[in-house]
């Protein structure tokens, strides 16, 4: 039994570097190293992180920088607008096509705005390109409410950003509150704001867990920051709540997040372990993902990170996964997991590590920050393709079997063996054989049902020659020899060609007196020999006398001698 805690401890040392290496929009290594506190201490640390080295940009420069950080990922030269996510031309046309939306309304912060304004009034993290009429309709309304769903629009004195933007808007406001609140007097409230307040805080926190940072938002955050992506207008600072969404609960709710995550029955520390043995696939196949059920106990929202190691993979990798705030104490989500089967045949394995990212510890052992990682171990056998052959010692795809001469009425059967040659010991797939076609004479038949043959083994099938009439006969059988079709990556193999030939004739078993004609004398002689246990009546040549010899004599007598 593996030591799951030891596995988790070793993995913890490499998870962060793996996550950074696979995410082009991640912050630089160490960017948040000083964010070690909780609550007001953590908020103060983030204020310092987001202020240090910050290059302030003006309200006017947003007219041009938006083309970079709000770019439509699908259409060059266009940007995506806030609230309605419309794609429009990026070129600034004096606000006719789009204008600049202050997410924290300019009337709810000190000062008046002009193209030279800096601070929160000109900060691209706090601005969005917007349809002019939508911007006007929103005005300076606060945002709400917690359980609202659907499209954007006014809700009385409040405004709903629309399902696609609720998280983006919440995190923009949290940035303004944290980066600029201490210096500008910006603050949050629940209910109706006044002065430089914004809200509704309860709604914003709820939305933050409902709508995780998508790739557009994460790229936007990075491009605003990056001198490489945005050389003329980069700010050299980031929105911490996009990069580290797990900080929200501690800063804006409490220090007792009650969540525990598990993939199986957890121990007291919240650690759980699940082993999955995926169905084998052939080299080149793509194993179907298996859904792992991740269960959250508790009512609070939490973000979690999924990191894949070894050959494991999941489309949920990364730290931007969340369970929303809920009234239901037990909820779940699915985490698809699969294995990279590229390369050669052999065993594959890997792990998923699932980390509850919440930073609070007040709820106690096994919850939030004290919830141990959950581990999913995944295993897969990748198989070499099957190889059918008509010979045990070589790859023989075509051969001829000659039955020789068989007397009329004598049995005409023999066994044909089909082999599955083992290419990679222990990792070669089953062979699926099935009749395909036959041509030539109809006197030969082959009893070959659809059959799976394991690697390194063979199966025998009976071929039969109809001996009721004299003649020389030839039949060609084509046999499909493919990979097991039930496994991913199965390929069609070579066609096996079996040619059967034989002659019916020669000595006439029913001519007991050997005079070349059949009559009652032959019947008397056969019956006498059979009753006397004389092997002269051994019509089928088996060395014993039984009913088969009677059948053989009758068939030969009725067929007549050639």
Instruction: Please determine, for residue 7, whether its predicted confidence score (pLDDT) is greater than 60.
Output: no
| Contact yes or no for 378/350 (Cβ under 8 A) | yes
What count of other Cβ atoms lies within 10 Å of the Cβ of residue 471? 14
What is residue 562's predicted lDDT score, i.e. its pLDDT? 61
What's the distance, CA 405 to chain centroid?
60
- pLDDT by residue (tens digit) across 175-185? 999 999 999 99
What is residue 419's predicted lDDT score, i.e. its pLDDT? 98
| Distance separating alpha carbons of residues 248 and 212, to the nearest angstrom | 12
- pLDDT by residue (tens digit) across 343-399? 999 999 999 999 999 999 999 999 999 999 999 999 999 999 999 999 999 999 999
What is residue 514's predicted lDDT score, i.e. its pLDDT? 74
- pLDDT by residue (tens digit) across 194-251? 999 999 999 999 999 999 999 999 999 999 999 999 999 999 999 999 999 999 999 9
HEC sequence for 136-152: HHHCCCCECCCCCCCCC
| Contact yes or no for 86/129 (Cβ under 8 A) | no
**Which segments within 384-469 are labelled E, that is strand?**
388-389, 398-406, 413-420, 431-440, 444-447, 451-453, 458-465
What is residue 515's predicted lDDT score, i.e. its pLDDT? 80
Q: Which whole-number Å values give the CA distances from 118 to 46, 242, 256, 350, 388, in the listed order?
A: 20, 22, 37, 49, 75
| Contact yes or no for 211/169 (Cβ under 8 A) | no
What is residue 4's predicted lDDT score, i.e. its pLDDT? 52
| Distance separating alpha carbons of residues 153 and 148, to the nearest angstrom | 11
Give the pair of three-digit tokens for residue 441.
């004479």
- What rounded mean pLDDT belongs to the chain? 94
Which residue from 167, 182, 179 is spatially nearest to 224, judged by alpha carbons?
179
What is residue 506's predicted lDDT score, i.e. its pLDDT? 63
What is residue 222's predicted lDDT score, i.e. its pLDDT? 98
Question: What is the arithmetic mean of pLDDT over 468-493?
Answer: 95
Q: What letters, b where the CB count within 10 A reaches 16 and e where it falls short, cover 519-528?
A: eeebeebbee
Who's near 348: CB < 8 A, 6+ residues apart?
310, 311, 339, 340, 341, 379, 380, 381, 382
Alpha helices in 88-225 (DSSP H): 132-138, 166-175, 181-184, 201-210, 215-225
State the residue for tokens 């439509």: 72
The full set of domains in the chain, from first to last, is 39-252 (no CATH), 260-383 (2.60.40.2310), 388-504 (2.60.40.10), 520-559 (no CATH)
Question: What is the arithmetic mean of pLDDT over 246-261?
Answer: 98
What's the distance, CA 531 to chain centroid?
75
HEC sequence for 450-494: CEEECCCCEEEEEEEECCCCCEEEEEEEEEEEEECCCCCCCCCCC
- Rounded to 10 deg, the angle between the 62-69 and 215-225 helix axes is 130
Question: What is the arithmetic mean of pLDDT over 148-154?
Answer: 97
Cα atoms in the 13 Å half-sphere on the side-chain side of 273: 12
For residue 322, the cross-strand partners are 303
Provide Rg for the chain, Cα atoms.
39
| Distance separating alpha carbons of residues 545 and 529, to the nearest angstrom | 10
Can the peptide bond before residue 72 be classed as cis, meaning omega within 30 degrees of 0?
no
| Distance separating alpha carbons of residues 534 and 209, to the nearest angstrom | 95
In sign, the C-alpha dihedral spanning 362, 363, 366, 372 is negative
| Contact yes or no for 389/396 (Cβ under 8 A) | yes
Strands 187-188 and 197-198: parallel
Instruction: Please determine, for residue 283, whether its predicted confidence score (pLDDT) is greater than 50.
Output: yes
| Distance separating alpha carbons of residues 192 and 367, to the nearest angstrom | 34
Instruction: Please determine, for residue 1, whether its predicted confidence score (pLDDT) is greater than 90.
Output: no
State the residue for tokens 């002019």: 132
Instruction: Please determine, for residue 2, whether its predicted confidence score (pLDDT) is greater than 80.
Output: no
Instruction: Please determine, for residue 558, whether its predicted confidence score (pLDDT) is greater than 90.
Output: no
Q: Which whole-number Å values give the CA distances from 303 to 109, 159, 257, 415, in the listed order?
A: 31, 26, 11, 65
Query: Which range is least confidently modeled, 142-156, 439-453, 464-478, 532-546?
Result: 532-546
- pLDDT by residue (tens digit) across 504-552? 876 677 888 878 788 999 899 999 999 999 988 888 777 889 998 898 8
- pLDDT by residue (tens digit) across 75-86? 999 999 999 999
- Rounded to 10 deg, the angle between the 547-559 and 520-531 helix axes is 170
Query: Which range is least confidently modeled, 154-163, 368-377, 402-411?
Result: 402-411
Task: Say whether 3 sits in a helix, a strand or coil.
Answer: coil
């Amino acid at each position: 039994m593996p030591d799951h805690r030891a596995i988790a401890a070793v993995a913890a040392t490499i998870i962060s570097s793996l996550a950074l290496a696979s995410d082009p929009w991640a912050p630089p290594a160490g960017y948040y190293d000083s964010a070690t506190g909780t609550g007001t201490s953590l908020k103060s640390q983030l204020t310092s992180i987001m202020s240090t080295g910050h290059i302030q940009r003006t309200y006017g420069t947003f007219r041009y920088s938006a083309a970079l950080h709000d770019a439509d990922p699908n259409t060059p030269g266009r940007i995506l607008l806030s609230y309605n996510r419309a794609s429009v031309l990026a070129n600034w046309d004096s606000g006719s096509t789009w204008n600049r939306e202050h997410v924290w309304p300019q009337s709810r912060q000190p000062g008046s705005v002009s193209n030279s304004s800096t601070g929160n009034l000109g900060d691209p993290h706090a601005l969005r390109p917007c349809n002019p009429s939508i911007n006007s309709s929103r005005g300076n309304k606060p945002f709400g409410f917690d359980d609202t769903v659907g499209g954007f629009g006014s809700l009385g004195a409040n405004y709903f950003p629309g399902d696609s933007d609720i998280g983006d808007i919440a995190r923009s406001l949290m940035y303004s509150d944290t980066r600029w609140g201490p210096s500008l007097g910006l603050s949050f409230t629940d209910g109706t704001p006044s002065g430089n307040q914004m809200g509704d805080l309860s709604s914003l926190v709820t939305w933050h867990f409902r709508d995780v940072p998508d790739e557009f938002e994460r790229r936007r955050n990075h491009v605003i920051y990056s001198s490489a992506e945005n050389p003329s207008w980069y700010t050299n600072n980031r929105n911490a709540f996009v990069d580290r969404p797990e900080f929200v609960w501690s800063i804006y709710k409490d220090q007792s997040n009650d969540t525990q995550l598990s993939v199986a029955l957890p121990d007291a520390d919240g650690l759980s372990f699940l082993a999955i043995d995926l169905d084998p696939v052939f080299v080149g196949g793509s194993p179907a993902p298996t859904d792992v059920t991740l269960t959250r106990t508790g009512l609070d929202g939490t973000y979690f990170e999924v990191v894949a190691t070894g050959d494991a993979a999941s489309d949920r990798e990364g730290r931007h996964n969340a369970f929303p705030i809920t009234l239901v104490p037990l909820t779940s989500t699915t985490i698809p997991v699969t294995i990279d089967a590229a390369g050669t045949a052999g065993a594959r394995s890997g792990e998923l590590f699932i980390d509850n990212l919440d930073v609070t510890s007040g709820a106690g052992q096994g919850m939030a920050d004290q919830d141990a990682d959950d581990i999913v171990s995944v295993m897969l056998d990748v198989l070499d393709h099957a190889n059918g052959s008509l010979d045990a010692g070589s790859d023989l795809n075509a051969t001829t079997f000659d039955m020789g001469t068989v007397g009329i009425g004598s049995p005409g059967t023999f066994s044909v063996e089909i082999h599955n040659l083992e290419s990679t010991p222990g990792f070669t797939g089953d062979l699926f054989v099935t009749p395909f076609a036959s041509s030539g004479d109809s006197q030969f038949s082959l009893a070959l049902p659809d059959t799976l043959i394991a690697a390194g083994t063979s199966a025998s099938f009976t071929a039969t020659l109809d001996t009721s009439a004299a003649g020389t006969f030839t039949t060609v059988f084509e046999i499909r020899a493919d990979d097991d079709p039930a496994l991913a990556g199965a390929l069609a193999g070579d066609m096996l060609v079996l040619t059967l030939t034989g002659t019916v004739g020669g000595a006439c078993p029913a001519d007991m007196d050997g005079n070349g004609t059949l009559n009652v004398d032959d019947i008397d002689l056969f019956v006498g020999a059979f009753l006397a246990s004389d092997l002269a009546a051994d019509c089928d040549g088996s060395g014993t006398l039984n009913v088969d010899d009677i059948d053989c004599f009758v068939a030969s007598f009725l067929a007549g001698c050639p």
